[in-house]
Structure 1
């Protein structure tokens, strides 16, 4: 497999070449594929006049003059997907949101179902729907242990530009403590699949450091399959907060977050913006990103981390921002393009403070990811500090 890395500006140096260990079977759960409708991505962008509370009911997504977006993920991705990273079987749901009509699929119904946990699906009628959340859906730590939220390829959950959409935190007493070691427990195990998360906004919410415009996770296990994230955002400044789409802090036994067949941004005007990590952000968490697309996301902070004197800090990791000690990032079969960072890593910012962390990139394409401040010589769009140079399989920079 090959990876193509295209520099945004002339850089010298050679990439290392090594073999990336395969990830297992590529077969997807045959019950999990949605009848995907691109119209679910067409939720309206919030404007300054949209100060009224969001509607409590869902309605078919209105038409909008945006590019027609394909189903999520990279259709040319050939990375093998391990069994634990595949979509969950939802043929026998514990809970169904809605009774077959758009009007029955409400924010209140989503909040209630997520709080109760289990396998959750939607019945909102044959047309795509957008459910504008009036409150953030929060997972109770005593539910599950498995929690699956499956939109069937026709449901958009929208933050309306006003709030975060989904929240899980094993160390939040308000959601219940279930162990004496909340930062390292095997539950809840959250899967989101066949959904669109649009217009989430965690700006001003600095609990646990902030970030996570669409989804915030701490503890347990988490994976994303066949989903799209558009126009999400979080605080625009700050040296370490991030993740316009997703912010993750800690996972059970250091196991990775899987992101499979998913898209973050995908077209001009659809990407996420945050101080750091225009799509994904974490501290001390490993990631495996397979057959996915991350494009048109931006890290908009200024001053990096630690913040330079006279600056608020931030601006690193146009698509992905990772920090911590021992963790890994694996990207395979994916496209990371047209992202931008005001500081370091227009595509990826990776800092392992004790220099034990490692990164592997295989069969992927990185191109047009300018780093306005700094990046690692020979790795266009990447700033990397770890155990050794990233392992990049069969790559040819140009």
Structure 2
């Protein structure tokens, strides 16, 4: 067993104007593991806090579970704006009849707030949510589609379950959410049993797959859970939970467990293999990017190739990793750990670890 306990003190590395930990309505749910890393209290940057939905643009439902159909959800999301749910006082699972799509010209701001009671389901047969600023079918708004500031999508206080993007070969990966362009923020969310393609050298994100963000700003993941217990994990060829190309992530007070990267052969694929199997929880590939993990727990994820917890490769050796007040432990499989167990990266990758525990 290799145990690394690092206690070097550092300042707030992401936003000095942060706030105290935010209210999490999914902290003690009755329908599955809670959202977030229990007991974590890392300071939340202002940019990563929930959006105000006190004056919503659209309300799904009229107070009864029967009024909250999947088609109503799909139609509301297509209109954009701030979307809330009124489906009664008990947890509800809404299975979508088709993938909900974010249209690029509907509204610059799109907020989907489940109020801590709503689960959106792909029914095990389809992806749940799709945003792509470079997809002309979603109303192409600029020739600089890979670097535009909208739509700015926030999903908060909601669960995504049983998403499946295996059949989507054009925009592969992201069983629950596939996002490109604009901005993406995830606050107080849970991701259970989402899957994407099981093989391939550069496909992944059982729960989430992300490309291009406006001005290379990070994707925030706050107080959220990917898996959380046996039987709830997400799965894909690479990045059992999340996968991206050229994207920075800031992950705060979150939990990744029981996710699996089930491909084999790595990237590029070894001869005679289909490729994949890297990044049990997180698969981060590209060039200049930062993976920041604060107040989070990554445990009991599994791979066949590299990076039992994290796979992080910057092709031009310019990216960096920052880990503070976090624990990485008891992840399974993989190899190529030049500095820390469970983290596959180039030996010259700039990595800063403080107040954290990394256990093989």
Q: Conserved in 1, the CA contact under 8 Å of 2:159 and 2:189?
A: yes
Match of 1:237 in 2: 199
Match of 2:174 in 1: 212
TM-score normalised over the length of structure 1 = 0.86
Find out whether 1:351 has 2:342 as its counterpart.
no
Q: 2: CA distance between counterparts of 1:386 and 1:326?
A: 16
Q: Deviations over 1:144-184 (max 9, x none)?
A: 21100000000000111100000000000000111120000
Match of 2:301 in 1: 339
Structure 1 counterpart SS, 2:115: strand
Match of 1:376 in 2: 337
Please show how residues 354-369 of structure 1 align to structure 2 within 5 Å: 354-369=316-331
Match of 2:19 in 1: 26
TM-score normalised over the length of structure 2 = 0.95
Q: Conserved in 1, the CA contact under 8 Å of 2:57 and 2:83?
A: yes
Deviation at 1:22, TM superposition (A): 3.4
Which of the numbers 281, 288, 309 marks the counterpart of 1:319? Answer: 281
Deviation at 1:34, TM superposition (A): 2.8
CA RMSD of aligned residues (A): 1.9
Which of the numbers 348, 353, 360 marks the counterpart of 1:392? Answer: 353
Deviation at 1:35, TM superposition (A): 6.7
Match of 1:171 in 2: 134
Structure of greater relative contact order (alpha carbons < 8 Å, 6+ residues apart): 1
Q: 1: CA distance between counterparts of 2:88 and 2:49?
A: 26
Find out whether 1:223 has 2:181 as its counterpart.
no
Show structure 2 runs of 5+ residues with no match: none
Q: Deviations over 1:173-225 (max 9, x none)?
A: 000111120000000000000001000000021223x1000000000000000
Structure 2 counterpart SS, 1:109: helix
Find out whether 1:196 has 2:186 as its counterpart.
no
Q: Deviations over 1:242-276 (max 9, x none)?
A: 10000000100000000000000000110001000
Show structure 1 runs of 5+ residues with no match: 1-9, 42-68
Deviates further, 383-392 or 179-188? 383-392
Structure 2 counterpart SS, 1:228: strand
Aligned length: 357
Q: 2: CA distance between counterparts of 1:154 and 1:12?
A: 39
Q: Deviations over 1:104-135 (max 9, x none)?
A: 10111011000000000000011111001110
Find out whether 1:74 has 2:45 as its counterpart.
no
Match of 1:38 in 2: 29
